[in-house]
Chain A
Amino acid sequence: MNWDAWLPLFIILISLLVALAIFPLAEEKVKTRISLNLGGALLKLVLVGFMLWGVYNGHHYETRLPFLPGLDLVLRADALSMLFVVLSTGLWFLTTVYAVGYLEDSPHRSRFFGFFSLCVTATIGVALAGNLITFLLFYELLTLATYPLIVHRGTEASRKAGRTYLIYTIGGGALLLIGTIWLYSLSGTLEFTTRGFLSAVDRSHHPALVIIFVLLIAGLGVKAALIPLHGWLPQSMVAPAPVSALLHAVAVVKAGAFGIIRVVYDVFGIEFSASLGVTLPLAIVAASTIIYGSLRALFQDDLKRRLAFSTVSQVSYIVLGIAIVGPLATIGGLVHLVHQGVMKITLFFCAGNLAETLGIHKVSEMSGVGKRMPWTMVAFTIGTLGMIGAPPLAGFISKWYLGMGALEAGQGWVVFVLAGSSLLNAGYFLPILYAAWFKEPVGNWPAERSFGHYETSLALLLPPLVTALLAVLLGLFASAPFSPYSWSQFITTLEYAP
């Protein structure tokens, strides 16, 4: 048996099988469900580690299944896909641990964890897709699998949020489908190729290619929460904390941002995109989203909504890095794909801890919470300082390369956007830290629960501490082999090779 040809499919099937096994499980089968979840996540982690090592050493992993005449379903592990696969798999494991603690006494856990695994299946599929049609299928599966997670609580607010999410994402999917079909009719292929496959298309088709680019980016921009397509993201914050973490750091917004990277680099090719004149408008949209998201975050009292608008802002750093044509900016964008995920998931884990342990949902309720939950707030502090870009945390590395890339590409205005965004980030994050650490608590907490020896359940406490530690290590040891920075350098070398 040729392992190299089947490994990508195996990796996807693991979480799919876990999902199908969990769906019919009775609610009281807690141990079986946890074993299936964690076992699947661990097995996937091991296989992904194996594949990462293989890709680093030049192995070619590709599963190809016939789908439609002339179009195959292709799963391929390349350097870019591995960046996303490792992020999703690693964070899935931590999020599963967290979700086990978070949903300890909740109803419909089998349904939740089933969709949770399905969601990761779709995300890994998006990451490993070797052509646009495979990408599209998994992208749509992601929409379908995430919707039940958003409406999981079954409240009126969650149903409304789910409805909004579905409208936005199905609309985006439709645009993506139209763009994909049009593209296929023009080029005759949808295969992702390093440096793109469209530069050979006849010049007379260039106006059509610009429209296709807009269609594809609009379709992907919905999940990447580019303005004005971001409306679903803050509303989806009614979902449980693990789902928010999944939406913001592991799966949905990342799938959108990753799709934009694929379209710009491996469909159009960065040089061809620049020659079409589409990269500058994309950079302007991304920059506007960065500032808009930060401004909206300033005025949110609801902690998760504040974090959601922060995501709207932060994910656009990735798009901005891609749209500034140049190797250094690309490194910044790619690195931020991982770094933002690690930092943002820390913040959502902490927000979940505060809600679950003390019933805190609003920033105005956080006075003195640092004394009650010091470890959670230490993790939160690291996450926020990383988001602001304080050295030597992970966020600093991203901003450093984005800034350098902007200067290298002669787009100095981006540096002002980054500086403005950092100030705004400080504006909406530092008051939270001040209230948590230096203000005295006002009366009792909204709904306090006791967890014995620790400040909260260990399953809730460990994941944010691990991800916070990762946020420090990823910044401090940025140059280490296999770090996101080193890996992004590796990808950039391929994309910009002479």
Chain B
Amino acid sequence: MNEILTTLLLLAVPLLPLLLVFPALRSRLPKAQFVSLLPAVIVVVTPVTFSAEFSWLLFGSALELNGFNRLLLAISIIVWVIALLRVSTEAATNNHMMTFLLLVMAGNFGAIVAADLLLFFSFTTLMGYAFYALLVTSDNTIRTVARVYLWLMIVADLLLFEVLLLLAVNNTNLNFASANTTMALSPLLDLSLWLVLLGFMLKAGIWPFHFWLSSAFRCVKPVWTILLAVVPVSVALLGLLRWLPLGEISSPVNGAIVQVIGVSTLLYTLISMLKMTGKNNKWPEHGIIFFMTGLFFTGLGTGLANAATWSIYEAWAYYYVAASGLVVLLVTLSIRIQLRQDKPVVQTLQSRDSTQNLEHFVVMLVTRVSKTGFYTLPGWRAWWLDMAKHFWSATCCWQSALDTSESKLSRWPVVITLFLLLGIVTVYFSCSC
């Protein structure tokens, strides 16, 4: 296949949804949201390895579509088609929602086809901010949850940014393979590992940072639960696979800790699902996500602990991430169809859950800090300035001179002209001397 054509197609995968974000372009196309999927569909069904390097993009970036991410992209397309079908009526009337949907889509597709850490980071950031906006636009009841998600995402981005700096300072080439080797050889390996793990745990809502995700699932409409599974969670798991130097290092201690997190997530999921099933006779969808991420972390821990084991089962990890999106989609749909309701399970949070506790604390803290910032500190400052002013006016007479000049502002050009003339005269006399 022609190299230019493959490059253009690959570039169009995230770029077309980005272009269609502009309402002026979107309105000229029928079913623009589905048109935006077209390049992605073409690259998925074309049996060619797509790869393109862009030296002019950021510090030199690359996109790639090989066996693993082709599968991920295919699953994502399916999820997006279903999501778009379910919101088509609502999105047709809500311009903002469609804008944010397309931004999330661009970020999601871009992260999948990104071939280096920086581009992956850029697309996930775009996806994160847009997903927050999408949640808030589509469903005002989860504003609180969305805010928690946004702040966790910002912290996660900062952690990942630190990792990028640590890697880039040793090796400017940030493609996945090269960056993994750099991290494996880094004297700050443990720090880098945990920054990556924490960053993606925050982004994916992994236990113990899961509170926003469970609250979100209980509040939002089914279509957003589908996207919740595929957008932040799957991409974060993919990020872990891409960023960690798996198969290059054996770190038993770190591996064991990650396994403990995985097993704890599984236990937490089992207990909470049992509790909820007993109460409501309903099976919460987010339990599936926690279950899958718990299993994933257990496997990831094993891979971190032993490089040889990871090398054998590496491919399965990618299939697992791809499959998790599909499984969550199917389970969500089947549960919703069974319940025959297309509205939030809980419209508003009835009881104070962990997110609300956190929010309450944050609100209290913000109120306290705001009071200090807006009233107490300015009060002290005003008192201090008052004292200083008093002292100043008692000792100085420059103020009256300036007041006079201000009231005669029209004469200011004369001052400037004189200043310039002085310069010109000095230059003239210097020249003549």
Pairing of A with B: yes
Which residues of A are in contact with B by a Cβ distance under 8 Å? 16, 23, 65-69, 73, 111, 114-115, 118, 137, 141, 144-145, 147-148, 151, 154, 159, 162-163, 166-167, 295, 298-299, 301, 328, 385, 389-392, 399-400, 403-404, 407-408, 415, 419, 422-423, 426, 430, 434, 437-438, 475-480
Would A422 and B158 be within 8 Å (CB), given that A66-B430, A299-B374, A438-B136 are in contact? yes
Q: Are B165 and A400 neighbours in the complex by a CB distance under 8 Å?
A: yes
Q: Are B168 and A404 neighbours in the complex by a CB distance under 8 Å?
A: yes
Q: Are A480 and B122 neighbours in the complex by a CB distance under 8 Å?
A: no
**Secondary structure type dominating chain B contacts:** helix
Q: Are A415 and B165 neighbours in the complex by a CB distance under 8 Å?
A: yes
Q: Are B154 and A151 neighbours in the complex by a CB distance under 8 Å?
A: no
Closest Cβ of chain A: how far from B161's Cβ, in Å? 7
Q: Are B154 and A423 neighbours in the complex by a CB distance under 8 Å?
A: yes
Q: Are B169 and A159 neighbours in the complex by a CB distance under 8 Å?
A: no
Closest to A137 in B: B423
Closest to B140 in A: A438
How far is A154 from B408 in the complex, measured between Cα atoms in Å? 10
Closest to A392 in B: B122
- Categorize the interface residue count of chain B: 35 or more
In the complex, B118 has a CB within 8 A of chain A: yes
In the complex, 20 of the A-B residue pairs with CB atoms within 8 angstroms, ordered by the A residue number, are: A65-B430, A68-B426, A68-B430, A111-B413, A137-B423, A141-B419, A144-B415, A145-B416, A151-B406, A162-B406, A163-B402, A166-B402, A299-B373, A403-B165, A404-B169, A419-B158, A419-B162, A423-B154, A430-B150, A479-B58
Q: Are B169 and A423 neighbours in the complex by a CB distance under 8 Å?
A: no
Closest Cβ of chain A: how far from B65's Cβ, in Å? 21
Q: Are B169 and A407 neighbours in the complex by a CB distance under 8 Å?
A: yes
Would A476 and B399 be within 8 Å (CB), given that A23-B413, A299-B374, A385-B129 are in contact? no
How far is A475 from B118 in the complex, measured between Cα atoms in Å? 12
How far is A118 from B423 in the complex, measured between Cα atoms in Å? 15
Please name all residues of chain B whose beta carbon is closer than 8 Å to the beta carbon of A166 when the two chains form the complex.
402
Please name all residues of chain B whose beta carbon is closer than 8 Å to the beta carbon of A475 when the two chains form the complex.
58
A interface footprint on B133-170 (CB within 8 Å = 1, 0 otherwise): 10011000001000000100011011001101110110
Q: Which of B150, B165, B403, B431 has the most CB of A within 10 A?
A: B165
Would A299 and B412 be within 8 Å (CB), given that A162-B406, A403-B165, A404-B169 are in contact? no
Within 8 A of A (CB), among B374-433: 374, 377-378, 398-399, 402-403, 406, 409-410, 412-413, 415-416, 419-420, 423, 426-427, 430-431, 433
Q: Identify 18 new A-B residue pairs, CB closer than 8 A, beyond the known A141-B416, A475-B58.
A: A66-B427, A115-B412, A115-B416, A148-B412, A151-B406, A163-B406, A328-B169, A392-B122, A400-B164, A403-B161, A408-B169, A422-B158, A426-B154, A430-B150, A438-B143, A478-B58, A478-B59, A480-B56
In the complex, B60 has a CB within 8 A of chain A: yes
In the complex, B370 has a CB within 8 A of chain A: yes
Number of A-B contacts (CB under 8 A): 115
How far is A465 from B7 in the complex, measured between Cα atoms in Å? 29
Closest Cβ of chain A: how far from B280's Cβ, in Å? 31
Closest to B122 in A: A391
Please name all residues of chain B whose beta carbon is closer than 8 Å to the beta carbon of A298 when the two chains form the complex.
373
Would A477 and B410 be within 8 Å (CB), given that A66-B430, A299-B377 are in contact? no
Q: Are A415 and B154 neighbours in the complex by a CB distance under 8 Å?
A: no
In the complex, B131 has a CB within 8 A of chain A: no
Please name all residues of chain B whose beta carbon is closer than 8 Å to the beta carbon of A68 when the two chains form the complex.
426, 430
Please name all residues of chain B whose beta carbon is closer than 8 Å to the beta carbon of A73 when the two chains form the complex.
427
Q: Are B166 and A407 neighbours in the complex by a CB distance under 8 Å?
A: yes
Would A114 and B419 be within 8 Å (CB), given that A159-B406, A392-B58, A419-B162 are in contact? no
In the complex, B212 has a CB within 8 A of chain A: no
Please name all residues of chain A whose beta carbon is closer than 8 Å to the beta carbon of B158 when the two chains form the complex.
419, 422-423
Q: Are B413 and A114 neighbours in the complex by a CB distance under 8 Å?
A: yes
Please name all residues of chain B whose beta carbon is closer than 8 Å to the beta carbon of A67 when the two chains form the complex.
426-427, 430
In the complex, B109 has a CB within 8 A of chain A: no
How far is A476 from B118 in the complex, measured between Cα atoms in Å? 12
How far is A401 from B68 in the complex, measured between Cα atoms in Å? 33
Please name all residues of chain B whose beta carbon is closer than 8 Å to the beta carbon of A23 when the two chains form the complex.
413
Please name all residues of chain B whose beta carbon is closer than 8 Å to the beta carbon of A114 when the two chains form the complex.
413
Would A437 and B60 be within 8 Å (CB), given that A299-B374, A415-B162 are in contact? no
How far is A423 from B159 in the complex, measured between Cα atoms in Å? 12
Closest Cβ of chain A: how far from B141's Cβ, in Å? 13
**Secondary structure type dominating chain A contacts:** helix
Closest Cβ of chain A: how far from B86's Cβ, in Å? 22
Closest Cβ of chain A: how far from B409's Cβ, in Å? 6
Closest Cβ of chain A: how far from B350's Cβ, in Å? 24
How far is A408 from B166 in the complex, measured between Cα atoms in Å? 9
How far is A328 from B121 in the complex, measured between Cα atoms in Å? 21
Please name all residues of chain B whose beta carbon is closer than 8 Å to the beta carbon of A423 when the two chains form the complex.
154-155, 158
Please name all residues of chain B whose beta carbon is closer than 8 Å to the beta carbon of A145 when the two chains form the complex.
416
How far is A328 from B58 in the complex, measured between Cα atoms in Å? 16
In the complex, B5 has a CB within 8 A of chain A: no
Please name all residues of chain B whose beta carbon is closer than 8 Å to the beta carbon of A407 when the two chains form the complex.
165-166, 169
Closest Cβ of chain B: how far from A450's Cβ, in Å? 22
Please name all residues of chain B whose beta carbon is closer than 8 Å to the beta carbon of A144 when the two chains form the complex.
415-416, 419
In the complex, B4 has a CB within 8 A of chain A: no
In the complex, B57 has a CB within 8 A of chain A: yes
Q: Which of B58, B426, B433 has the most CB of A within 10 A?
A: B58
Please name all residues of chain A whose beta carbon is closer than 8 Å to the beta carbon of B55 when the two chains form the complex.
479
Please name all residues of chain B whose beta carbon is closer than 8 Å to the beta carbon of A477 when the two chains form the complex.
56-57
How far is A51 from B426 in the complex, measured between Cα atoms in Å? 28
Q: Which of A115, A151, A391, A408 has the most CB of B within 10 A?
A: A391
Please name all residues of chain A whose beta carbon is closer than 8 Å to the beta carbon of B409 when the two chains form the complex.
111, 148, 151, 154
In the complex, B125 has a CB within 8 A of chain A: yes
How far is A415 from B420 in the complex, measured between Cα atoms in Å? 46
Closest to B162 in A: A415
Would A391 and B125 be within 8 Å (CB), given that A476-B58, A480-B56 are in contact? yes
How far is A23 from B409 in the complex, measured between Cα atoms in Å? 13
Please name all residues of chain B whose beta carbon is closer than 8 Å to the beta carbon of A167 when the two chains form the complex.
398
How far is A298 from B372 in the complex, measured between Cα atoms in Å? 11
Please name all residues of chain A whose beta carbon is closer than 8 Å to the beta carbon of B154 when the two chains form the complex.
422-423, 426
How far is A151 from B430 in the complex, measured between Cα atoms in Å? 36
Closest Cβ of chain B: how far from A327's Cβ, in Å? 12
Please name all residues of chain A whose beta carbon is closer than 8 Å to the beta carbon of B406 when the two chains form the complex.
151, 159, 162-163
Which of the residues B161, B412, B427 comes within 8 Å of A65, measured between beta carbons?
Answer: B427
Closest to B55 in A: A479
Q: Are B161 and A390 neighbours in the complex by a CB distance under 8 Å?
A: no
How far is A321 from B169 in the complex, measured between Cα atoms in Å? 16
Q: Are B431 and A391 neighbours in the complex by a CB distance under 8 Å?
A: no
